Each structure stands twice: as structure tokens, then as C-alpha cells.
Amino acid sequence: MSGHRLNCAANGSAPMPVPLFRLAQPLFHFHHGYRMTLTDHPNLPQMHSAEPLPRHAPPLAHQIIARSQYALRTVVMRTDLIGLVVSGTKQLLAPEGSNAFAPGELFILPRGTQWDVINDPAPQGRYVAQILNLQPETVTRFYQSFGQFAALTPVRSFARVTDSRTIGAAFMRAADALSDADCSATLSEHRVLEVLLLLAEQSGIVLTPPGALNWSERVRRLVAQRPYDHWTADRVAQALSTTASTLNRRLAQEGNTIAACVRETRLEAAMVLLQSSDRPVAAIALDVGYESHSKFTAAFRRRFGVVPSALRD
């Protein structure tokens, strides 16, 4: 499979100890020397609504922990994603082939790509990874601030970074900022931009500049703010300042429907919550708009090829 593979050790330094990124429930706080302690859950930033995000909304940054291997079918990257394997092995499978990521390796997955994903605890006995989903606004801000990198070819499939102490340190600074409820949104974004800048300068890795959202993306971003709400076609259309018939016509041109967008968004939110929190499966079903545990389990299995409980220890 095509992709970038880079060894970015800075100044000839030895591979850094396993770095960590911003975590969801429970959160780790980073100290010098890579020591970490538990901290409270941060206040997550608002996206499009004047109302605060619900307490159990999927976080932009989260930790995945698994003690048993599981596979997820056709996971779509709705946003650009940066991940770091801490222990165990992550496998990404596509028709072109498969790629495995070992502890300490950073993987960058562009929005729009899709993968079958296997999270395997071997050889350490526990799979741990930190994930950061980048908001399109942050990527846009990167190009506004650092236009000199617009000439670089963006990542199309995936990119890999190994042994970069400098980028690892930037991750820790970003993690501290994103984990601190008192840290401003401006400073948090600055820390993430630092990571993107180092990826571009040291590794030649850049992401595609975001374009205008299509109608499917608009619906998904709306529903993602409150996946538990009762999203009728009329309500979705009204929130997007159009009519249900017009919205369905526009979505049909993209091979989509309102119902499909709502369902996909809910199940993708559930996938993140199942991997990043210790909430009961039944509670997560409610978090994403399913009142019936059995219907949620059936829908999740149809979509990802595995029952929700398989994502738990």
C-alpha cells in the first residue's frame, strides 16, 4: 500500500520512550520524564451550537484500551486523524494491502479514507493508543499561517512517523494544553498547530486543505453535536435552513439520505465512546439515540461486523 514511511529521529537522539497524547475518560496528565497521573475530564470545545456539548459526547481526542483483539469493518475517517500506538499493534487493512503500527509509531490518516481496523494487544498484552481528530478549521488555520507548505503533496492514504523525539515532545505539550480545562481554545489550537508544523518541517507530511462541506458532511456534523436527539428529517432540514425535500434531493445526488447520515453518525459516535470510556453499553446506546439495547447491538453489528461488547475488556 502506498504511503509515507519516515524515520524522524532528531539530532541523532535515541528513540524516545513511549509518548502519550491527550486522553479521554480517564485522562492522564503528563509530567517531565513521561510520568503520567490521572486528571479530571476536560471541558470539550463547542463546535457549531451555542449549547454545550453533552457530557458523554465523543471527544475530539481520546484513548483506546483493549485487552482482547477485535476488528472493525470499514471505519471511515470523517476528519483528519493523528494516532499514536502506545502498546500492542494496530493493523489497517485496505484492498491495496495492510499496514501494522508498533508501539511508539505515529500514524496519520486523512479524512475520507476508510479501513478495516484490527486492534491487537499482542505482544504486550494490552492495546493502548491515543487518537486526535483534527477539526477542518485547524487544518485551514495551518495553511493560513504556514502557506509555504502548500507546495507539498498531501498524504493520500496514510503516513507513518517513527522515533521523533521532537514531535513526541510537541505531542506532550498539546496533550497538556488539551487536558487543561483552564487552557484557552486559542492556546490549545496553537499546540496542535505546532504538531502539524513539525510534521511538515521534519517529515514532509501535510494534510489536504479542507474544502467546502458537502450536504452529507453538514448533516453528520449537525447530528454529531447531539447524537441522542430525535433527529427527524424536518428537524435536520430546518437546522440547515432548508426543507426536507430539498435536503433529500441534495443528499440523493451524493448517494445518501438523511436517515443514513443520522444512523451512521450515531454508530460512529458509539464506536468512539465504546473504546474511550467505561460507560455501560446500554448507557452508550442511549447517548447516541438508541432506546433499545438490542436494536443498538444489532445495528452496530451490521455496521462494523462486531457486537459492541467486543470493544470492551
Residue 31 has pLDDT above 50, yes or no: no
- Specify the pLDDT at position 92: 98
What pLDDT, on the 0 to 100 scale, is given for residue 36? 34
**pLDDT: is 59 or 117 the higher one?**
117
All CATH 2.60.120.810 domain ranges of the chain, comma separated, are 4-203
Q: Report the C-alpha gap between 18 and 275 in whole angstroms.
A: 20
How far apart are the C-alpha atoms of 189 and 137, rounded to whole Å? 10
Q: What's the confidence (pLDDT) of residue 288?
A: 96
What are 183-241's pLDDT values in tens digits?
898 998 999 999 999 999 999 999 999 999 999 999 999 999 999 999 999 999 999 99
Report CA-CA distances (Å) from 115 to 78, 81, 91, 158, 161.
12, 13, 9, 11, 19
Highest mean pLDDT among 59-63, 66-70, 180-184 belongs to 66-70
Architecture of 4-203 per CATH? Answer: Sandwich (2.60)
User: Can you give the pLDDT at residue 21?
Assistant: 36
pLDDT band at 114 (very low <50, low <70, confident <90, very high): very high
Q: Is 135 exposed, middle or buried (CB count within 10 Å of its CB: 0-12, 13-18, 19+)?
A: middle
Alpha helices in the chain (DSSP H): 136-145, 165-179, 185-203, 215-225, 233-239, 244-253, 258-276, 281-287, 293-304
For domain 215-311, give the CATH superfamily. Homeodomain-like (1.10.10.60)
Give me the mean pLDDT over the 17-29 stretch. 36
Our CA dihedral for 64, 65, 69, 75, rounded to 10 degrees, sits at -10
* pLDDT on residue 124: 83
Q: How confident is the model at residue 135 (pLDDT cuts 50, 70, 90)?
A: confident
- The three-class DSSP label of residue 106 is strand
Which of 63-67, 150-154, 295-299 has the least mean pLDDT? 63-67
Where in the chain is CATH 1.10.10.60? 215-311
What is the reported pLDDT for 45? 33
Q: How confident is the model at residue 59 (pLDDT cuts 50, 70, 90)?
A: low
Quote the mean pLDDT of the chain: 83
